[in-house]
Amino acid sequence: MFISVMRVLSPRSLRTRLVIWNTAAIVVLFLGIGFLLRSIIDNALVNSVDRELFFRTNRFMDGGPRNGGGDGPGMGPGEDRAPEQRNPEGARPGIDGYVNNPPENGQSGQEDIGGQNLNHRPQGEGPSRKPARRQTPLADEKAAIATSDDTNATNLDLRPRLFDRKMKSLAPFGTDEPIDKDALSEALYKRTTKLSFAIWNGVRVRLLSRPFPASGELRGVVQAPYPMEDTERAAGDVNRALIYMFPVALLGAIWAGWALTGRVLRPVSNIVRTADELGANDLSRRLEIVGQDEFALLSYSLNALLGRLQLSFEEQQQLVERLERVVEQQRRFTADASHELKTPLTVIQANTSLSLSMQPSIEDYHNAMEEIDEAARIMSRLVNDLLVLARADSNLLASDRIKLDIGKLLGRAVAVTCLKSDRSGAEIQVDPDVELWGNEDEIYRVFVNLLGNACRYTPQDSMISVTASKVETGLEICFVDNGPGVPQKDIAHLGERFYRVNDSRTRSEGGSGLGLSICKEIVGAHGGTMTIESKLRVGTTVTLHFPVQ
């Protein structure tokens, strides 16, 4: 169990690498989404501030201040209103917009520039700040600013500031200074709206520099600031939230990657488990195929491979069994061949030794020579049979084929075998136009061996018949006798090398047990088959079947 866990957790493990890759991909995706979200929020906040600034300055786009200084209507350049034209409370009309006395009837003090309420805006139109009140004109204002905290945006004078084409303040007494002279100059000379950031009294502000009026002759530029403290604080809150979410997202990515990877690789675990349970002696098991994905295709391919391996092992097993049989046959063939050769050699050696050890008569010499000649004949036939079997094992039979006359070839074979067995003959029936392409000597040898067996085991008064006829699948040649027959237990072994149904009888008659083996090999080399049917005290039928040629 521990080894399995360590194998899974190893850096070389596919599961570990997939988890690492998935986690890395999710982390990169999270960072990308975080940066994109941060950018979207920043743009949204800045756009909200920009809309607020445009809203505050829209009132000046219709022609500028109605009761201002400088180039305002009803006043010459550089003029200012006399002190007696100020309102009774001492507040400056127009741009200044501050009151000395507290508002009455619960109404707050308001700026009134160009006949419009500077502090009023429709509900829901973004953030706005009420301008800080001043209880005194310019001197009191400077004192209030000097005693305030410069880094606190709530102490800033956030009212819009108007400047003429000479960048002079249009406020009474000309006390306003440009917040950003470069932005004011660009907006003035290019007559274009300029949005920029600036540091004003230690506070970062968003600044709108906007020429007025919107159409007609240029009269000046209005600059409106907005502190970015709240906006940057909101952006900072977003950054902190993303930073706090990152470890949670990382742990969630690792857990999800581990769980999903385990789920995806579950078919691989099943494949490994089934493969471990397979053996060379049991290839019948198959992998379970689930779904239609790549792992299902892999399982299908492995099942096909297992099927081919199973078939290959079965063929190999059959080949091994066949080789074992061949080795056994070879061992038995060697033993039987040595035994068959030993008998005639013993006869030859006995006769020669006897003749050399004494002075035999002419008749004794003649008898000894006859025995030696018979032994040599048996050895010669046995050697020839062994050579035919050797050619069969080397796939050298059925060469040099020609068109054979079956009737003529059977007649020759009957004449030879009947002459040797002192029989009158055999009945032969051959259909017309019967043809066989084969090696003449080998086919003649088959006919002679089969007729010789029939003559050897059939009584003199019984008839042997041979028929050759055409069938749908080719050519059939049947050898039928009325002999004693062969027991059923021996029929399956007929055709095996050196197999004898009756050893004592066949050996005394000169049989070596190779005749049917040679016939079977020759017929098989010509593409045919040999079947034997026999019943005791009824007879034996040997059928040769050759395919259509």
Please tell me the distance from the alpha carbon of residue 345 to that of residue 459, in angstroms, as a whole number: 32
Instruction: With CA atoms as reference, report the closest residue to 525 among 413, 421, 394, 423.
Output: 394
Q: How far is CA 409 from CA 398, 400, 425, in A?
A: 16, 17, 15
**DSSP label at residue 534:** E
Please tell me the distance from the alpha carbon of residue 157 to that of residue 169, in angstroms, as a whole number: 15
Please tell me the distance from the alpha carbon of residue 18 to that of residue 47, in angstroms, as a whole number: 43
Q: What is the pLDDT of residue 173?
A: 58
**The pair of three-digit structure tokens given for residue 58, joined into one six-digit string:** 């829209």
Please tell me the distance from the alpha carbon of residue 20 to that of residue 179, in angstroms, as a whole number: 53
Question: Same CATH topology for 279-396 and 398-547?
Answer: no
User: Terminal CA-to-CA distance of the chain, rounded, Å?
Assistant: 68
Please tell me the distance from the alpha carbon of residue 290 to that of residue 267, in angstroms, as a whole number: 8
The DSSP bridge partners found for residue 222 are: 162, 210
Domain 398-547's class? alpha beta
**The pair of three-digit structure tokens given for residue 237, joined into one six-digit string:** 């809150």
The amino acid at residue 142 is: K
Please tell me the distance from the alpha carbon of residue 343 to that of residue 334, in angstroms, as a whole number: 15
Q: Pseudo-torsion of CA 518, 519, 524, 528, nearest 10°? A: 180
Please give the chain's pLDDT, 549 residues, in tens: 434 444 445 556 777 887 788 788 888 888 888 889 889 988 999 999 999 999 999 988 876 555 443 333 333 333 333 333 333 333 333 333 332 333 333 333 333 333 333 333 433 334 444 444 433 333 343 333 333 334 455 577 888 999 988 888 887 656 788 888 999 899 988 889 999 999 988 899 999 999 998 888 888 999 999 999 888 888 888 888 888 888 888 888 888 778 877 777 777 777 777 777 776 566 777 777 777 777 788 888 888 888 888 888 888 889 999 888 878 877 777 777 777 777 788 888 888 887 787 777 888 888 888 888 888 888 888 888 888 878 887 788 888 889 988 888 988 888 888 777 666 667 888 887 788 889 999 999 999 988 888 888 787 777 888 999 988 888 999 999 888 888 888 787 787 777 777 654 444 454 667 888 889 999 999 999 999 998 888 889 999 999 877
Sign of the C-alpha dihedral computed for residues 333, 338, 341 and 342 taken in this order: negative
Q: How far is CA 209 from CA 162, 181, 261, 301, 485, in A?
A: 10, 10, 58, 73, 129
CATH number attached to the domain at 279-396: 1.10.287.130
**DSSP label at residue 154:** G
Helix 440-457, helix 515-525: angle, nearest 10:
150
Q: What is the pLDDT of residue 153?
A: 53
Is residue 541 helix, strand or coil?
A: strand
Please tell me the distance from the alpha carbon of residue 299 to that of residue 286, in angstroms, as a whole number: 9
Which residues lie closer than 8 Å to 35 by C-beta, 6 or more apart? Answer: none
Residue pair 468/475 in contact (Cβ under 8 Å)? The answer is yes
The DSSP bridge partners found for residue 209 are: 194, 223
Residue pair 408/481 in contact (Cβ under 8 Å)? The answer is no
Sorted by where each begins, the domain ranges of the chain are: 40-237, 279-396, 398-547
Please tell me the distance from the alpha carbon of residue 337 to that of residue 388, in angstroms, as a whole number: 14
